Amino acid sequence: MTHLLDQLPEVLLMGPGPSCVPPAVYRALSRPTIGHMDPRFISVMDEIKGLLRQVMGTTNELTIPVSGTGSAGMETCFVNLVERGDPVLVLVNGVFGQRMTDVATRLGAEVDTLEFAWGKPVLVEAVQEKLGEKPYNLVAVVHAETSTGVCNPVAEIGQLVRQTDALFLVDTVTSLGGMPVTMDQWGCDVMYSGTQKCLSCPPGLAPVSFSARAVQKLRSRRSKVPNWYLDLTMIIQYWDGAKRVYHHTAPVNMLYALDQALRVILEEGLDQVYARHRQAHERLVEGLAPLGLEMLVAPESRLPMLNAVCVPEGVDEATVRRRLLEEHNIEMGAGLGPLAGRIWRIGLMGHTARPENVDRLLEAFQNVLK
């Protein structure tokens, strides 16, 4: 019987995630599965918490990977910190800001949104004005908006939120491990991310960090956390303390992979990793220009790891993507929402962000566009 898995090609992953996985992380995934309460596994868990704090730029005690993808991280933050009727402000300039609005609304929060054009950053002045109108319990923004390739000014927004009583929540699913993420310096109380973007680990875990203020809010809730699986008041008892209490079975091998992926990043050095992403991005932009391809986002707001490229007039974007995949084994992403059909999304995330990969894409692109 033919086995589908044996027929999978090696694809150069240049979409919005997953990204290419380094060999050391694949090796870590295939280590023997041990018990999730085994003291040796608990040691691995403790190591992961320390490595995550370094990459996230925080000293927060509560810094753990949640079982599930980036969206599970999003849901964890909202479900633990938002109660029915809470006033919440979400800054929206793409799909993931919209998703946060959806999640907060389902929890019965009183959600206000401040919307900005897709492809443009959040305007700090508008946020300042909105914060002056009424008090919020929580203000949420996406650092790297993967749907558009825009970087939002989270440090500046953090300064404004700090002057209020609101908790500041930042989505760093796409930015973590690819550009500076400094949770504590930003004055950020709650952060979540995902493994399959710049951490270059397969999808399946969502690093989450809560400040002391966020933990205090969690502890002083009026109502029980309305989701059993993501209830941090219980999950903490498995991830912390001298005696660990079973909540759900940890995805043991995925955690081996995350441990290794974080080590790969820290061994290269955070500054070197960020520089490599920037250089790959610059190489790509320079190489696209002679092909007549332009970027959607203005230079000062561009993300290095997610490049939104305008589809030229008269070109069928889906055909180009299909041919890149079929003929060159390169995956790139399509536009979403109002940008569907109008942009391609080229990911230079984690292990993918290397000059040889950029060159391979440019050559294939030239070939397909001819």
Ligand X SMILES: *Cc1c(COP(=O)(O)O)cnc(C)c1O
Applying CB under 6 A, the residues found at the interface with ligand X are 17, 69-71, 74, 96, 142, 144, 146, 171, 173-174, 194, 203
The residue among 96 and 168 lying less far from ligand X, judged by its C-beta, is 96
- Please calculate the CA angle 36-41-46 and round it to the nearest 5 degrees: 115
Closer to ligand X by CB, 55 or 142: give it: 142
Between CA 153 and CA 304 the distance in angstroms is 15
The least distance separating ligand X from the CB of residue 145, rounded to whole angstroms, comes to 6
Using alpha carbons only, how large is the chain's radius of gyration in Å? 21
Indicate the residue among 51 and 201 with the shorter CB distance to ligand X.
201
At closest approach, how far in Å is the CB of 197 from ligand X?
6
Q: How far is the CB of 146 from ligand X (least distance, A)?
A: 3
Between 96 and 238, whose beta carbon lies closer to ligand X?
Answer: 96
Cα–Cα dist 158/136, whole Å: 14
Query: Rounded distance, CA 94 to CA 146, Å?
Result: 8
Residue with smallest beta-carbon separation from ligand X: 70
Shortest CB 138 distance to ligand X, Å = 17
Minimum Å gap between C-beta 142 and ligand X is 5
Smallest gap from Cβ 340 to ligand X, in A, equals 16
With b for 16 or more beta-carbon neighbours within 10 A and e for fewer, the 170-209 pattern comes to bbbbbbbbbbebebeebbbbbbbbbbbbbbbbbbbbbbbb
Complex with ligand X: residue 17 or 187, whichever CB lies closer: 17
Nearest residue to 175 (alpha-carbon basis) of 274, 40, 49, 46: 274
Q: How far apart are CA 121 and CA 143, in angstroms?
A: 10
Euclidean distance between the first and the last CA atom of the chain, given in angstroms as a whole number? 40
Helix (H) or strand (E) holding 12: strand 12-14
Q: Which is nearer to ligand X, 149 or 187 (CB)?
A: 149
* b (16+ CB within 10 A) / e for 37-75: eeeebbebbeebbebbbebbbbebebbbbbbbbbebbbb
Q: How far is the CB of 11 from ligand X (least distance, A)?
A: 18
Q: Which is nearer to ligand X, 146 or 357 (CB)?
A: 146
Report the DSSP beta bridge partners of residue 307: 346
